Copies of this chain bind each other. A is one copy, B any other.
Amino acid sequence: MSSKDAVLFFLKDKQGDFVSGEDISRSLSLSRTAVWKHIQSLKDDGYIIEGVPRQGYRLIKLPDKLLPSEIRYKLKTTLFDKKIYYFNEISSTNKIAKNEAAKGSPEGTLFVAEKQVKGKGRLGRKWVSPSGGIWFSMVLRPEISPIDASKITILAGIAVAKAIKGETGLKVTLKWPNDIFIDGKKVAGILSEMSAEADKVNFVVVGIGVNANLSLSVFSEELRDKVATLKELLGAEVDRVALFKAILKEFEKVYLSLNEDSFEKALSEWKNLCGMLGKRVKISTLTEEIEGEALDINEQGSLLLKLFSGEIRTIYSGDVVIKK
């Protein structure tokens, strides 16, 4: 932990009570000057800290930001104790995560942005990502074959769905391969990208976007009746830091124990959360459009589609529209 984080965590632990500079200095073995400098730097980050002569400092208000130190505070995961890259604004967190992963970033490295100016959805599509949402990417290095990479998206879907449900109480459904829905509208999405040999995944970057504290007005008219935001659904802002940490915790739970048995369990969890199995769907893949019944998800995370002819087709990827 950096000594700046130590000062912050010390103040946070006091839950708004005063603590003297001398106390901080002694407890953390820092000079008074160092404490003072860290306090100034925290104020620069947007923390509101009151300083009163003879009483000391107290933390009054946290900045509305997904700051690494806020994410780290009492996080208690083992996967995400690595470096957290934080950006006020960036092109796309997946893009920078892929670049850094190629240079060797360890598993668990996070890339967080308040705002993406070139947020990416699947197939190079745009993903609207202004301030107020949760936009981040994580580097993973699972020892799996590329054919199994879809499993990671399945696990991430479960984590996001459970975290949103846990933090907001809203009823969440999943749509294969990578969308999180509430009341039939998209509230979050996942973009997994991998670097791989034929035999082995080098790394997977999982990008997660959640329409948290956004107004619907930030979306184009065309999108407005297809998307939802937590703020609009709840009529109030969510605690983005808490939701972010919940996603990390839920993901770690399903990911760290990843093996055949645990994936089977995760998959049945996914299916329980899924709003499309058994329904008639139309799927657009890179090469065709096909209709049929969404029968099941197989052990590699692919969709089994039962065509009207009775033939069962394995679909690795595609856009799904649920037919009425």
Contacts and interface: CB of A to CB of B under 8 A. Distances in A.
Interface of A: 98-99, 102, 122-123, 143-147, 149-150, 153, 177-178, 191-200, 202, 285-286, 316-318
A198 B286 CA distance: 11
Most buried by B among A196, A199, A318: A199
Contacts of A318: 199
A153 B197 CA distance: 11
A178 B149 contact: no
Most buried by B among A144, A193, A198, A285: A198
A317 to B, nearest CB: 4
B195 A145 contact: no
Contacts of A317: 145, 197-200
B199 A122 contact: yes
A149 B197 CA distance: 10
Nearest to A150: B198
B146 A98 contact: no
Contacts of A99: 102
Count of this chain's copies in the oligomeric assembly:
2
A63 B195 CA distance: 37
A197 B191 contact: yes
Contacts of A196: 146, 193-194, 196
Contact of A146 (B122, B123, B146, B202): B146
A149 B146 contact: yes
A153 B196 CA distance: 13
Main secondary structure of the interface of A (DSSP, over half): mixed
Nearest to A143: B286
Nearest to A200: B123
A194 B195 contact: yes
Contacts of A177: 198
A316 B98 contact: no
Given A98-B102, A102-B102, A199 B149 contact: no
22 contacts: A99-B102, A122-B197, A122-B199, A123-B197, A143-B286, A144-B286, A145-B285, A145-B286, A145-B316, A146-B149, A146-B316, A147-B147, A153-B198, A178-B198, A191-B197, A192-B198, A193-B195, A193-B197, A194-B194, A198-B316, A198-B317, A199-B286
A299 B177 CA distance: 24
Contacts of A197: 122-123, 191-193, 317
Contacts of A147: 147, 316
A192 B198 CA distance: 7
Nearest to A95: B102
Given A145-B316, A286-B144, A286-B145, A98 B153 contact: no
A144 B177 CA distance: 18
B149 A98 contact: no
A194 B198 CA distance: 8
A98 B146 CA distance: 17
A152 to B, nearest CB: 9
B202 A193 contact: yes
A150 B98 CA distance: 22
